[in-house]
DNA sequence: TTTTATTCTAACCATATAGTTAAACTTTAC
DNA sequence: GTAAAGTTTAACTATATGGTTAGAATAAAA
């Protein structure tokens, strides 16, 4: 049973490349088979159907992105460090899988229930810890009052959107792939500062 | 030739609903025909092929989003007002077409050249004016030094991502449709403040 | 070595889908 | 009112696609 496991992961990796690139509807089983250099029937031998193969890929994708990224939000860390840790975790993970965010975002639209199910199954609660921490910070006057939801949206937006809309941003900015990567690396060092700026208590009339 | 123009826009609207929801690959010509309550052959009579019909929808979509949103960036306005105007334009447009951002983002991934072509054809240059304005602001010490690209990314990210990843954010936050809309309306009033926070010259050790 | 279970393939099937055609219906022009 | 042009439809075609099957090749067990 040595061969089976390697073939299975061979298929999974090929399917991942194709599904990441084309989404569920755009992907062809034949193309996945070709990508894996195997017969199309073998796909069905290992994963009964296109749906199941896709589910496996999606599950793996979510597993690769969410845990490393969301777990830092629960750590016992000052907000400042937590933000930096989040940004680092996000960029590290996503720079290794640049199509991941777009893939997930598209599946979010295609089949919202799918993602909900995955989230529910993992009992993920991102906001719990964050809410407390932000509340405390606001009470003690260190941070501006902001809902955990808006804070999360800001953090996610600044990190994820440049990947999700990469092609569009490149088109608008005229940057080539290399230049855009530099831009992303620069962001990696800047985002946590920006997020903290948004948290700083409002200064009175900076002019 | 009265009927033709109404039928054409009837088809376009139906196609828009379906393409927005399912993307090019997920959409079926039959479903579009049903949505428009017409015969499938009529789609081909008005728009030779699925590709052409999609192109028409995409062109219309880009036309609806980009001009109102990007044009404000060229106005002779102080940065502060410009940012507010941008956010207002974005939310006004997108709240009327909630699937627009996701649709464009997906097409960006599926066929990057398509968007590039549209941008090129319109000779859009978002950064030109912005660069000067940010440079002047930085020279005079009013604003922090930041590249126009990063600034644009920040602005776009904070506005667009909550729409693009709406289903995911709702899943993570547990908000229902109505609650999420409230969150978006709240953002609409907050984003320009945040963007300005990110622009404010770095204060020395706020602790 | 022989038998059995597993892994893999070529050829096939059923169906869904984009696109076509020929004819009917409707509007416009005269 | 009639002919021509434009619009719409039912029925059809060709093909792409997900999935199946029967059997070959390979590995494991005896």
Mutate to test the interface with B, among A29, A90, A171 (most CBs of B within 10 A): A171
Which residues of chain A lie closer than 8 angstroms to B102, CB-CB? 105-106, 109
On the question of pLDDT at A159 being above 50, the answer is yes
What pLDDT does A202 receive?
76
Strand C contact at CB of residue A7, distance < 7 A: yes
Say how far apart CA A156 and CA B173 lie, in whole Å. 13
Please state the three-class secondary structure of chain B as a single string: CHHHHHHHHHHHHHHHHHHHHHHHHHCCHHHHHHHCCCCHHHHHHHCCCHHHHHHHHHHHHHHHHHHHHHHHHHCCCCHHHHHHHHHHHHHHHHHHCCCHHHHHHHHHHHCHHHHHHHHHHHCCCCHHHHHHHHHHHHHCCCCCCCCHHHHHHHHHHHHHHHHHCHHHHHHHHCCCHHHHHHHHHHHHHHHHHHHHHHHCCCCCCCC
**Residue–nucleotide distance: A24 CA to C6 C1' (Å):** 30
One pLDDT digit (tens) per residue for chain B, 207 residues: 445 568 999 999 999 999 999 999 999 999 999 999 999 999 999 999 999 999 999 999 999 999 999 999 989 999 999 999 999 999 999 999 999 999 999 999 999 999 999 999 998 898 999 999 999 999 999 999 999 999 999 999 999 999 999 999 999 999 999 999 999 999 999 999 999 999 998 764 443
CB contact under 8 A, A169 and B158: no
Strand C contact at CB of residue B22, distance < 7 A: no
Region A169-183: mean pLDDT is 97
Closest CA to A10 of A41, A46, A59: A46
CB contact under 8 A, A187 and B150: yes
Q: Kindly report the CA angle at B138 between B137 and B140, in degrees rounded to 5?
A: 70
Nearest nucleic acid nucleotide to B30, CA to C1' distance: C17
- What domains lie within chain B, and their CATH numbers? 1-48 (1.10.10.60), 57-199 (1.10.357.10)
Distances (CA, A) of A197 to A137, A193, A200, B17: 14, 6, 5, 40
On the question of pLDDT at A206 being above 80, the answer is no
On the question of pLDDT at A193 being above 90, the answer is yes
Strand C contact at CB of residue B18, distance < 7 A: no
On the question of pLDDT at A207 being above 90, the answer is no
The count of residues in chain A is 207
Whether residue B143 contacts residue B199, with contact meaning beta carbons closer than 8 Å, is answered with yes
Contacts of A191 (CB under 8 A, 6+ apart): A83, A87, A155, A158, A159
What pLDDT does B202 receive?
76
Tokens of B178: 């109505």
Question: Which chain C positions have some atom within 7 A of a protein CB?
Answer: 6-11, 16-22, 27-28
pLDDT tens column, A49-96: 999 999 999 999 999 999 999 999 989 999 999 999 999 999 999 999
What pLDDT does A2 receive?
44
CB contact under 8 A, A119 and B171: yes
Closest CA to B81 of B202, B158, B162, B195: B195
Classify the phi-psi angles of B23: left when phi > 0, otherwise alpha if psi is within -120 to 50, otherwise beta: left
Tokens of A2: 């040595």
Place of tokens 């089976």: A4
Tokens of A197: 């700026």
Q: Is A206 exposed, middle or buried (0-12, 13-18, 19+ CB in 10 A)?
A: exposed
Mean of per-residue pLDDT scores for chain A: 93
On the question of pLDDT at A1 being above 70, the answer is no
B21: Cα separation from own chain's centroid: 15
CB contact under 8 A, A127 and B168: no
Place of tokens 């296109």: A50
Q: Which of A105, A154, A174 sits opposite B158 (nearest CB)?
A: A154
Closest CA to B98 of B56, B160, B24: B160
**Residue–nucleotide distance: A41 CA to D24 C1' (Å):** 14
């Amino acid at each position: 049973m040595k061969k089976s496991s390697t073939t299975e992961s061979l298929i999974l990796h090929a399917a991942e490349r194709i599904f990441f690139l084309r989404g569920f509807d755009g992907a062809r089983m034949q193309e996945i088979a070709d990508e894996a250099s195997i017969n199309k029937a073998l796909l069905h031998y290992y994963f009964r159907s296109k749906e199941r193969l896709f589910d496996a890929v999606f599950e793996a994708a979510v597993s690769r992105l969410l845990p490393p990224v969301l777990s830092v939000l629960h750590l016992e860390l000052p907000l400042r460090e937590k933000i930096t840790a989040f940004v680092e975790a996000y960029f590290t993970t996503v720079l290794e899988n640049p199509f991941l965010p777009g893939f997930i975002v598209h599946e979010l639209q295609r089949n919202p229930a799918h993602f909900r199910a995955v989230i529910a199954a993992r009992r993920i609660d991102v906001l719990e810890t964050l809410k407390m921490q932000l509340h405390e910070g606001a009470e003690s006057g260190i941070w501006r009052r902001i809902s955990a939801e808006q804070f999360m949206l800001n953090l996610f937006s600044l990190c994820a959107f440049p990947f999700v809309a990469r092609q569009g941003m490149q088109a608008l900015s005229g940057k080539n792939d290399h230049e855009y990567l530099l831009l992303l690396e620069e962001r990696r060092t800047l985002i946590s500062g920006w997020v903290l700026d948004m948290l700083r208590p409002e200064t009175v009339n900076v002019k």
